[in-house]
Structure 1
């Protein structure tokens, strides 16, 4: 059974490091504004297995560093984290949620209604595209 909970920012770093940038130091995955964000973790059998971080400005949210431990990927944990995050954004009355998506993961985000913008860039050996979701507050 997987459970999503709000977590302390520093708890995200180990998961980000292992899942996203294992060749870098753990310092590489720390964000300057981590302590200004809201962070969620998904626990499997009481062990932290995945994380995502949300940063809000007004009624717009950006999520960053969605990461699931490699040996647990493909089991729906990222999907569960995204559904929780989107529901949280609706409760916060956000109108838009966006991210810098790795190009090789953009199909994952389209399943939740995100659409690609024309903004792309390359960083740290990965190609990114900015994707956005307009949030409808009706369920």
Structure 2
């Protein structure tokens, strides 16, 4: 079994994974975020291969993660779960009061397993339905 590790990476190292996993039919630049340089970006590696990424942004003690992506060939192996657990622990240690995301409604049950709850806020983007989900922390 390959050694799995998570580390902080530069924003540009997330772009290929985001593009392949999330929006392969969109232009490459569509997966870049205006504020990528302000974020904290984590990657999960199995061996020396990068499989999963997540980008974290904060306003005070409230954190949002965006562009959480795992390469299609690596989905279903638990990599995303390991990475999300790492981020929850990281923001908890940073004193976060809330962690939230815009989740595709099709994967909201995944986030529920980690204690996230759906809010009433839903929207559509690029033909997909999203729901804002949040996790209360350190309260």
Runs of at least 4 residues off by over 3 Å: none
Say if 2:95 and 2:138, in contact at 8 Å, map to a contact too. no
User: 1:23 maps to which residue?
Assistant: 25
Please give the secondary structure, in 1, of the residue aligned with 2:24.
Answer: coil
User: 2:137 maps to which residue?
Assistant: 135
Cα offset, 1:136, TM superposition: 3.0
Task: Report the TM-score when normalising by structure 2.
Answer: 0.97
Counterpart among 68, 72, 75 of residue 73 in structure 1 = 75
Aligned-partner Cα distance in 2 for 1:2–1:72: 13
- Answering whether residue 11 of structure 2 is matched by residue 9 of structure 1, we say yes
Where in structure 2 are there 5+ consecutive unaligned residues? none
Task: Report the TM-score when normalising by structure 1.
Answer: 0.97
Where in structure 1 are there 5+ consecutive unaligned residues? none
Cα offset, 1:4, TM superposition: 0.6
The C-alpha deviation readout for 1:44-86, integer Å capped at 9, x for no partner, is: 1111111000000000000001100000000000000000000
Aligned-partner Cα distance in 1 for 2:67–2:57: 11
Cα offset, 1:25, TM superposition: 1.3
User: 1:33 maps to which residue?
Assistant: 35
Cα offset, 1:89, TM superposition: 0.3
The C-alpha deviation readout for 1:101-125, integer Å capped at 9, x for no partner, is: 0000000000000000000000011
Please give the secondary structure, in 1, of the residue aligned with 2:115.
Answer: coil
User: 2:62 maps to which residue?
Assistant: 60
Q: CA RMSD in A?
A: 0.8
Please give the secondary structure, in 1, of the residue aligned with 2:11.
Answer: coil
Aligned-partner Cα distance in 2 for 1:124–1:4: 30
